[in-house]
Structure 1
């Protein structure tokens, strides 16, 4: 039924201003002059070729979120903070931390243990309350 309604709307010439005022949603219709199907891969390829290799090597392309801003420059490794290089290090799971002696844990692991243990207790209490 909805499909026939949409088809009947397509055959009618309704101004866009009237549709926007009425609150009726419309669906995007792709241009028939495009070749290559959905996704616009051909358009993306032409954009990628316009970016020079020099820009790619000196700036983080696509990291700019401001209208008037520029892409941030790539710095030397020594110019970045030390904590940055440890972001992807594996940290112990809660089960592994529970097996260790709490008194001998380093401060960072102890802080992680408390956070994960609290989160686990909250989830357990929520599941018990949901069953009742």
Structure 2
């Protein structure tokens, strides 16, 4: 009889351990599905996941600024937390150098073709700077080959 009791106890223990393993598996699967214990990062702003129901509401809204505000202020140029966008001024109120920032400057090859003695001061400065940069690159490439 003792053997039958021991067999019954072993069977009961085996069933209990199998039940515990099954419950642990379900917990592990649930944690994996939820992502518990896994480091994740937030989704980038403005990008919705595929199949997301809120994708339509995440789309950028149309600008509600009036044409008058757009034509008198530099929208989006404010970098201060409590500041406001700067107003657009008259052309005469800006410094002269500002209007020459996008002018085309001659390349080094073009400056080498010209007579150095007749170059204006700004072009001469540019020539010296570009020529020094080219010589340094050439020396570095020669040293790298050795």
Matched, 1:77 2:91: yes
**What pairs with 1:34-73 in structure 2 (closer than 5 Å)?**
34-35=54-55, 42-43=59-60, 45-46=61-62, 48=63, 50-73=64-87
Please say if 1:86 is aligned against 2:86: no
Aligned to 2:41: 26
Gapped runs of 5+ residues in structure 1?
Answer: 1-7
Structure 1 residues 47-86: Cα deviation after superposition (integer angstroms, max 9, x where no partner):
x1x1122210110001111111111110111111111111
Q: Aligned in 2, Cα 1:13/1:113: closer, same or farther, shift over 3 Å? A: closer
Which residue of the partner structure matches residue 34 of structure 2? 12
TM-score, length of structure 1 as denominator length: 0.72
Whether 1:106 aligns to 2:123 is: no
Larger radius of gyration: 2
Segments of structure 2 that go 5 or more residues without pairing to the other structure are 1-29
- Equivalent residue in structure 1 for 2:130, among 85, 91, 116: 116
Cα RMSD for the two superposed structures: 2.4
Change (3 A) 1:128 1:74: same
Q: Greater RCO between the two (CA within 8 Å, min separation 6)?
A: 1
Instruction: Go from structure 1 to structure 2 and tell me whether the alpha carbon gap of 1:58 and 1:9 turns closer, same or farther (over 3 Å shift).
Output: farther
TM-score by length of 2: 0.66
Moved over 3 A (4+): 24-27
